[in-house]
Amino acid sequence: MSIEIERKFLVKASFKEYAQDSVYIVQAYLSISPKCSIRIRICGDKAYLTIKGESSASGLSRYEWERELTVDEARELIKLSEFEAIEKTRYFVPLGKHCYEVDVFEGKNKGLIMAELELDSEEETYEKPSWLGTEVTGDSRYYNASLQTKPYSDWNGID
């Protein structure tokens, strides 16, 4: 069993000058419930099936299981989703011993830029760059599963 510990932040300023790499991501959820979500993701030339469990009370940690698929398998499975796929470019921004993953969303989530930071423990300290904005860890509106069913443009007033 693998536990994912992650903090999420909105991005308030330019960060791309610090990015070392990026990848285009298309993902869709086949099942979304408070207890469990099942996601298919195509990330560049790789693809994954991921099952995520319920978040802890703090929103910092949850069970995660992941297996690699072929891109063709993932494309077929994405067709099973009842919602439009999420599209985003993920930028990798190293800072100290960590690496922020900054997602710039497209489509119905355009305008949303969010940084995620995976940690080894909920108490682990980390550096906060100047471009990092408000922490949204635990705010379910910013979960990718929520963004698929209730896109950012639907509740943030952006067209």
Active-site amino acid positions: 29
Length of the chain: 159
For residue 134, what are its two tokens? 């408000």
Q: Which of 137, 110, 128, 136 minimizes the C-alpha distance to 6?
A: 137
Burial of residue 51 (CB within 10 Å: 0-12, 13-18, 19+) is middle
Residue 33's identity, in one-letter code, is S
The 8-class DSSP code of residue 28 comes to E
Residue 147 burial (CB count, 10 A): 26
For residue 18, what are its two tokens? 């610090």
Beta carbons of 44 and 102 less than 8 angstroms apart: no
For residue 106, what are its two tokens? 């497209």
